[in-house]
Amino acid sequence: MNNRQETPEEKRELLRQKELKKNPCGVLGDGLNRAENGNLADLVGGSGWKVTGIIIVVFIVGYVLYNLFF
């Protein structure tokens, strides 16, 4: 038995692989739409907490600057 805990990234990857095996054609459309629009969960899930914090700060600063000038 493996006592090592899976990380959330590993769990997501396993679920994604299981879904690909069960329904490859349905996942194709989802993948095309996701690549077209982007996905915040993939952006945040693929980065660490520091990068996530920097992205949030950039959005907040951008919003404040936008409101100051427009």
Q: What is the pLDDT of residues 41-66, one digit of tens each?
A: 666 666 677 877 888 899 999 999 99
pLDDT digits (tens, 9 = 90+) for 17-30: 887 777 766 656 66
DSSP 66: H
More confident residue, 69 or 43: 69
DSSP 46: T
What kind and span of H or E run contains 15? helix 8-22
Task: Give residue 1's pLDDT.
Answer: 47
CA distances from 9 to 42, 49, 62 (A): 10, 13, 29
More confident residue, 45 or 4: 4
Whether the CB-CB separation of 19 and 27 falls below 8 Å is answered with yes
